[in-house]
Chain A
Amino acid sequence: MPLAHRLYDNALVLGPTGRLDHDNCEAFREELAPHLERSAKDGTSIVLDLSGLEYVSSAGLRCFMLAAKQAKAQNSRIVIAAMQPVVAEIFQIARFNLVFEAFPKVRDALAALSPAAAAAFDRG
């Protein structure tokens, strides 16, 4: 799964796309790992921009759970933004809305993480 990433000051926006299920969840975890490591080292916060994610299975949700656990253990932050309606419903049914802070738009998430990141986003 291609994982586009873009840094806005001290916040990194990652954008998984397509479907996240048994077939590609390990590849997604491998792609996510260096970003989580970086987050531990320099305190960068992570926004998962899910606007391009069409579907997530239990295996994909497990990847999100592992990322949330790692972020908590290393005292860094990872939040969700811009979920498509289907993915938002799946998050709700699986009670992942209680695991992650979720925001309607990427900018909302950045603003909640740091004013500098939101300002960088506004500058484009």
Chain B
Amino acid sequence: MRVRFWGTRGSIPVALTSADIRDKVAEALFRAEGRRFDSVGEAHDFAVKHLDFSLTHTFGGHSPCVEIETGTEEYLVCDMGSGARPLGAHVLARQSGKPATVNVFMSHVHWDHIMGFPFFGPAYVPGTHIRIHGCHEVIEQAFRLQQAPPCFPVEFSQLAADIEFVKLTPGRAHEISGVQVTPTPQMHSGESYGYRFEAGGKVVVYTTDSEHKLENRAQTERFVRFFHGADLVVFDAMYSLADAISVKADWGHSSNIIGVELCQMARVKHLVLFHHEPAYDDATIEGVLRETRRFEELTRGTQALQISAAYDGLEIDV
């Protein structure tokens, strides 16, 4: 499986400002210390090898949208945040005029997870099949509502694609496009659902907008079982632990510390920090990644846990 991240920011999309880019360029030039590059390629290599990721890139960007490629012709997508717009362009380019079949899995219908759908190009292409899967009763209502006047100029009923809403049962494994998909309920305002995807002996877990109450041992054990043995876990690490259990308790999100502990207990191979706090700049997120790797090192048992921070455009093969 290949996991491709189209939107990784939590709550609301963010964009670099012109001042942010000016400052990154100025800092990069300063750190080059008068080096001469004979080609753009040489400068590119220097930037990648010798400068911080947060200086030469950005985490982005779009609100949650993650594609899971399984080798079949159908698309599997988690959430329809604003990252669904570039995903749509990717699908249209790849299909070269041939209508696509897209299976969407909704964690929940808060705005940051549905806002990309009106800009998802394939929804406007006749013959496209879009199956929107989820466990909530209100998914269709939410999708229609955000395109109803006066919020959007194109009503949901005007979309050319064949769009179907498919209700899934939490805790049950569903066979969808050759992949076993199991949803599980999570703690979030209005409830959210995480998904475990299993295909070809590989396991990917998508778990965002999920708060973990440390005092609830039964819940912890349930999530350890849900994550167990996963090759990759995409995890809501929006807050610091201190914030998550004090001023931001009951806001429905989790922390990097909890992500590491759950993944260690579940013997997960790779943890991806996701749903980044919109107030964090690139350097802050890179700092959180560095600290999270250090925490893993300090608390490591018999198995190392690889840790990444998701960014728009990241691809991970499992």
Instruction: Spell out A's residues near B (CB within 8 Å).
Output: 22, 55, 57-59, 61-62, 65, 69, 86, 89-90, 92-96, 98-99
Contacts and interface: CB of A to CB of B under 8 A. Distances in A.
B293 to A, nearest CB: 10
A90 B292 CA distance: 10
A118 B258 CA distance: 38
Contacts of B256: 93
Contacts of B295: 89-90, 93
B155 interface: no
Interface residues of B, number: 21
B216 to A, nearest CB: 11
B242 A58 contact: no
Given A57-B261, A59-B214, A93 B243 contact: no
Contacts of B40: none
B266 interface: no
A94 B245 CA distance: 11
B245 A62 contact: yes
Contact of A95 (B243, B258, B298): B243
Contacts of B255: 58, 94
Nearest to A59: B214
Contacts of A59: 214-215
B240 interface: yes
A95 B217 contact: no
Contacts of A55: 299
Contacts of A62: 214-215, 245
Nearest to A60: B214
26 contacts: A22-B217, A22-B220, A55-B299, A58-B214, A58-B241, A58-B261, A61-B241, A61-B242, A61-B245, A62-B215, A62-B245, A65-B242, A65-B246, A89-B298, A90-B298, A93-B294, A93-B295, A94-B240, A94-B241, A94-B242, A94-B255, A95-B240, A95-B241, A95-B243, A96-B242, A98-B242
A27 to B, nearest CB: 14
Contacts of B294: 89, 93
Contacts of A94: 240-242, 255, 257
B184 to A, nearest CB: 20
Given A58-B255, A58-B261, A89-B298, 9 more contacts: A55-B299, A58-B257, A59-B214, A59-B215, A65-B245, A93-B294, A94-B240, A95-B242, A98-B242
Given A22-B217, A86-B298, A93 B245 contact: no
A71 B292 CA distance: 29
Contacts of A57: 261, 299
Contacts of B292: 93
A22 B240 CA distance: 19
A61 B295 CA distance: 14
Interface in B85-140: none
B291 interface: yes
Interface in B251-304: 255-258, 261, 291-292, 294-295, 298-299
Nearest to B249: A65
Nearest to A66: B245
Contacts of A98: 242
Lowest 10 CB-CB distances: which A-B pairs, in order?
A: A95-B240, A94-B241, A95-B242, A93-B291, A62-B214, A93-B295, A59-B214, A58-B257, A96-B242, A94-B257
